[in-house]
A and B are shown apart, each in its own frame.
Chain A
Amino acid sequence: MLNIFKNKREDFPDFWKKYEAKFQEKPSKEIEHTRFVVFDTETTGFDLIKDRMLCIGAVGITNKSIDVADGFEEYISQETFNPKTVKIHGIIQNERIETLQEEEAVKAFLKYIGNSVLVAHHAGFDIGMLNQALARMGLPKLKNKVLDTVKLYRGTRIISNLINRERNYSLDEIAETYHIDIKDRHTAAGDAFITAVAFITILGKLNTDNKLKLKKLFRY
């Protein structure tokens, strides 16, 4: 019997169906067995509607190790161009670098992330960018669980009236605290790597009793 939902789902392209199917698997409850994908996007600006992604960089983490071989780095050709942000990330339109169309890049990214837990610094923005791109392709939002390193980092700070825990810690500040080199800052892959090193460091800090569970990470 075909129900309404099934009909609707069949409208979606194959790659989306494959992506969706991966969420049928029962996810692990252990951090060790979970694949995290730490990612970052470079964009033409900070407006979710007007601005566009120029690059997606990501790296996978399994068993608390960053696996460089499990990386993702794609540049996207865009019509929208914002001269103001070029000086931040240095991606100039039509720079001679291999690029993909946005659709292709998003398609490749979905295949790459599968049902992994996504991690980003100020995750809301990057997830929003991806969801906007998906919407332009007539697709629903991302289905992955998301962790934000800003929130996790706050969790490592002590509770004291003397410090403001609600502050928005920048990636630079966190890198300084943990002595992470900030070379390649403002390239998507470079930032993703800095975030990834920060993420495994934070996992260590939060794991005070050696019993840290995945579930707990989502509460920060």
Chain B
Amino acid sequence: MKNTIASRIADFLKNYPPFNLLQKEDLLSISKNVKVKYLEKGKTLFAEGDTGHKRFYVVNKGAVSLERINNDKRETIDKCDEGDIFGLRPLFAKENYLINAIADEETVLYAIPIKKFKPLSEKNKEVGSFLIQSFASNTRNPYAEAHKGKLISEKEPEENQFQPNNNLFELQPAPVTRKVIMASPETTIKKAAQLMRRKKVGSVLIVEENTPKGIVTDEDFRNMVATGVFSIETPISKIMSSPVICYPRGITIAQAQLTMMKHHINHVCITEDGTPNTKVVGVVSEHDIMVSEGHNPSVLMKAIQRSSSTNELKKIRHKITLLLKGFLASNIPLNHISKIIFELNDATIKRIIERCIKKLPTPPPCDFTWIALGSQARKEQLLQTDQDNALIFEEVPQEKLEETRAYFLELSRKVNKRLNIIGYEYCPAEMMAKNPNYCLSLQEWKQQFTNWIVDPGNDEILLCSIFFDFDISYGNIKLSNELANHIFSLTQNNKKFYSVMGATTLRNPSPLGFFRQFLVEQNGENKDFFDIKKRAITPITDAARLLILQHQVRNISNTAERFEKLAQLEPNNKDLFLACAYASKVLIKFRTKQGLKNRNSGRYIDLENLSKEEKIKLKRCFKSIRQVQELIKFRFEVTPYT
């Protein structure tokens, strides 16, 4: 019987060890017995002490964290993503699991039956040794070091295993990049420079039959080519530094750093036996060491700009989260944190768009602007939340309109999909550029805003409040500026609009009840939790938007900055506005900390877990919200509506 499903599963597995080592028939027979499992984010697949399952697991989509509880603290031992295997203990021993496997994000797993697989791993030595290796790396069993075999070197850089802020960081093995940019000694200087430019690297390794002969860096080009000493048609070997400093595998970070300092170099070459006479295994670069430390924004920025796959970006995103945790732990001011995180998010979006344009068969038919909406635009997005975005393209003749839109919709689909892969959930209200309603020409956008502003119903105001906070992510700034002009001309002195918008701003009353108790959710799945977004962040954001719009101030979309500007514009309300600016920062920081702690959006807060001090701090913020709401009520002559 034909088995389409099994062959499709085999098609996936054959790309990853140890399955790539199996005979085709064996792989197919394993695939026929696979079970496919879905795990929700945060779900535990097995916990410490559970009896071993009859299957081990391969990640098909998503990511799984392997964790151990140590002195009441969760410690991540390993992170498995696409193609990684885990849950191997039952394959080796009839013991209970010693670690917890928890879905880090939504995950689809292929479960491989141990009974079927075991005979194959016993028959095929390579398979067996790979499994032992993986088992050791999953569990950090020091004994297994002795088994260090050939296969481990085929795994991608082991950077994930690094534990940032670990005191022993320097003594861990240095991250080795296995994809080394190489050229032969006969290559011309010009060709080598083109290669480096294409790969966006600062150095190239010169090899002969895979053994390192020399290395050329940007500096060599400056000193020996730009000065006119050598022409660009000269073989690269004339300008290379030689011999290359080589080390065997397993060099520690401290060792690598010392060597680099001693020789004034940025790269150490890793060869099979640590001499220049054997084959190149990889390169340790100063850059990668810094990236693996995970707390250097400029290095992360460079890594984003150089990234050549969505998966790579996803790994960088994990590091940004680590960076954020570090910032919050060391109590760095929120202004500073938001700006850095915003820049990194922004660079990520730009990089994705850049790469997606290249993937399309033709360049964009006309100018366009990708705009971020909502929290990313307000530079208030610290945790990864939903993606809200839209696209404006230049005016094109009517007969070209749909063709042009089709191009940008295709582009947007690609971009939205990749943003989703790296962790930005799809907007549940479909407010994304791939939605034909939000991928419009400048003229259509103007018309859209005219409709919303001239006849503002509840839905229209909601859309306005989302679209008024926009920020250009990519493309021609003229388009977004022109749209902003249009919006200001429509809203200027438009009493009706302000009044409706004022009423919406007040739709979420001050979060404190009559007895100065927190208002908690009355029903639904978050019953009895405090919704910090709905009850505190949204009201204060809405208030800032409305007030700043009335002053016709553009290009400030951050809530705290808006209030600071308002304090300048209205000296008589200075104290209130500064208090609001402060409140906005406190609330966002609060939400971010909650989110990091609970691995979620941080939106719903369990009041019982708050300290007295935290509660007082929150209540102080709420007081400012109430005061600014009263000011709005008065200023815009809002008639309460229900």
Contacts and interface: CB of A to CB of B under 8 A. Distances in A.
Contacts of B6: 68, 71
Contact of A66 (B35, B39, B459): B35
Interface string A141-163: 00000000000000001101111
A122 B39 CA distance: 25
A67 B35 contact: yes
A214 interface: no
Contact of B40 (A59, A98, A207): A207
Interface string B122-137: 0000000000000000
A154 to B, nearest CB: 13
Contacts of A196: 36
Contacts of A207: 40
A67 B111 CA distance: 9
Contacts of B429: 158, 160, 162-163
B367 interface: no
Contact of B38 (A64, A68, A161, A209): A64
A184 interface: yes
B37 interface: yes
B5 A163 contact: no
A201 B39 CA distance: 8
A207 B38 CA distance: 12
A97 B40 contact: no
B4 interface: yes
Interface string B404-426: 00000000010001001100001
Interface in A189-214: 189-190, 192-193, 196-197, 200-201, 203-205, 207-209
A73 B40 contact: no
Interface stretch (B26-34, B249-257, B356-364, B551-559): B26-34
B38 A190 contact: no
Interface in A47-88: 57, 59, 64-69, 71, 73-75
Given A160-B429, A162-B459, A162-B463, A208 B525 contact: yes
A104 interface: no
- Counting contact residues on chain B (CB < 8 A from A), the size range is 35 or more
A113 to B, nearest CB: 17
B529 to A, nearest CB: 13
Interface in B29-59: 31-40
A74 B8 CA distance: 17
A193 B5 contact: yes
B106 interface: yes
Contacts of A29: none
Contact of A57 (B4, B12, B417): B4
A97 B2 contact: yes
Name the residue among B11, B32, B40, B413 with the largest chain A CB count within 10 angstroms.
Answer: B40
A220 B8 CA distance: 31
B61 interface: yes
B31 to A, nearest CB: 7
B432 to A, nearest CB: 11
Interface string B423-445: 00010111100000000000000
Nearest to A66: B36
A183 interface: yes
B1 A190 contact: no
A41 interface: no
Contacts of A201: 38, 106, 108
B3 interface: yes
B101 to A, nearest CB: 15
B417 A176 contact: yes
A179 B2 CA distance: 25
B224 to A, nearest CB: 49
A147 to B, nearest CB: 16
B37 A65 contact: yes
A64 B33 CA distance: 16
Contact of B36 (A65, A163, A176, A189): A65
Contact of A163 (B37, B61, B111, B430): B430
Given A65-B36, A162-B429, A208-B525, A184 B106 contact: no
B105 to A, nearest CB: 11
Nearest to A176: B417
A187 interface: yes
Name the residue among A57, A66, A161, A181 with the largest chain B CB count within 10 angstroms.
Answer: A66
Given A162-B430, A204-B106, A190 B4 contact: yes
Contacts of B2: 73, 75, 97-98, 189
Contacts of A163: 429-430
Nearest to A209: B525
Name the residue among B12, B35, B413, B430 with the largest chain A CB count within 10 angstroms.
Answer: B35
B9 interface: yes
A131 B413 CA distance: 38
A205 B61 CA distance: 16
Interface string B382-418: 0000000000000000000000000000000100010
Contacts of A64: 37-38
Contacts of B38: 64, 197, 200-201, 203-204
Nearest to A183: B8
A177 interface: yes
Nearest to A162: B429
Given A59-B5, A193-B5, A68 B33 contact: yes
Contact of B5 (A71, A158, A162, A177): A71
Contacts of A73: 1-5
Contacts of B8: 181, 183-184, 190, 193
Interface of B: 1-6, 8-9, 11-12, 31-40, 61, 106, 108, 111, 413, 417, 420-421, 426, 428-431, 459, 462-463, 525
25 contacts: A65-B111, A66-B37, A68-B5, A68-B6, A68-B9, A68-B31, A68-B36, A71-B6, A97-B2, A157-B428, A162-B430, A162-B462, A179-B417, A179-B420, A179-B421, A181-B8, A184-B4, A189-B3, A192-B5, A193-B5, A196-B36, A197-B108, A200-B38, A201-B38, A207-B40
Nearest 4 interchain pairs by C-beta: A66-B36, A189-B4, A200-B38, A65-B35
Interface of A: 57, 59, 64-69, 71, 73-75, 97-98, 157-158, 160-163, 176-177, 179, 181, 183-184, 187, 189-190, 192-193, 196-197, 200-201, 203-205, 207-209
Given A68-B32, A162-B431, 4 more contacts: A66-B35, A74-B1, A162-B463, A196-B36
